C-alpha cells in the first residue's frame, strides 16, 4: 500500500486467478501412489505426465501400501513439476483417485 497526502494505492507484487492460487503458492508437489494398484505401464504413464508438466516445484512420490507402509521418495532436481488443475484432472482420470497433493 502506498499512501500519499490525498490518495492511496494498492500495489500488487503478483496477480493471478483464484483457481490458480494453490498451484502458485505451493512449495512442493506430492504424488500419492498406491503400489498395489500400479502396473509398469502406469508408472511409465505417470513419468510421461510429470515430464509434460515440467516446472520449478520440488516433487515427491509417496508410495503407499495401505495398512503396511508409506515410503516417500524425492524426485530428482531435474524433474521439477508445474502443478495445475489440468495435471490433477489428468492424474485422476488415468488412475481413478486423487494422486496430486500440494504443500
Q: Is residue 61 part of a domain?
A: yes
Residue 62 included in any domain: yes
Instruction: Give how far the C-alpha of residue 38 lies from the chain's centroid of Cα atoms, to the nearest Å.
Output: 19
Tell me: pLDDT of 15 over 90.
Answer: no
- Asked if the structure places residue 65 within a domain, the reply is yes
Q: Does residue 22 register a pLDDT over 60?
A: no
* 85 found inside a domain: yes
Distance from C-alpha of 21 to C-alpha of 69, rounded to nearest angstrom: 32
Identify whether 16 is part of a domain: no
Query: Are 100 and 91 contacting, i.e. CB atoms less than 8 angstroms apart?
Result: yes
The count of domains in the chain is 1
Within-domain flag for 6: no
Residue for grid cell 509417496:
62
User: Could you list the residue range(s) of the whole structural domain that residue 85 is in?
Assistant: 25-102
pLDDT band at 18 (very low <50, low <70, confident <90, very high): very low
- 60: its cell numbers: 515427491
Residues 29-83 pLDDT 10s: 999 999 999 999 999 999 999 999 999 999 999 999 999 999 999 999 999 999 9
Give domain status of residue 11, yes or no.
no
CB-based contact 100:87 (threshold 8 Å) = yes
Q: What is the pLDDT of residue 41?
A: 95
What values do phi and psi take at 84, rounded to 5? -160, 165
Residue 5 falls inside a structural domain? no
Amino acid at each position: 500500500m502506498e499512501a500519499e497526502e490525498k490518495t492511496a494505492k494498492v500495489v500488487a507484487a503478483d496477480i493471478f486467478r483464484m483457481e490458480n492460487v494453490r498451484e502458485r503458492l505451493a512449495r512442493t508437489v506430492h504424488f500419492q501412489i498406491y503400489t498395489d494398484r500400479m502396473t509398469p505401464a502406469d508408472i511409465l504413464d505417470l513419468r510421461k505426465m510429470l515430464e509434460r508438466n515440467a516446472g520449478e516445484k520440488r516433487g515427491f512420490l509417496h508410495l503407499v501400501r495401505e495398512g503396511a507402509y508409506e515410503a516417500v521418495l524425492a524426485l530428482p532436481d531435474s524433474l521439477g513439476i508445474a502443478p495445475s488443475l489440468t495435471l490433477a484432472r489428468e492424474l485422476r482420470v488415468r488412475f481413478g483417485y486423487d494422486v496430486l497433493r500440494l504443500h
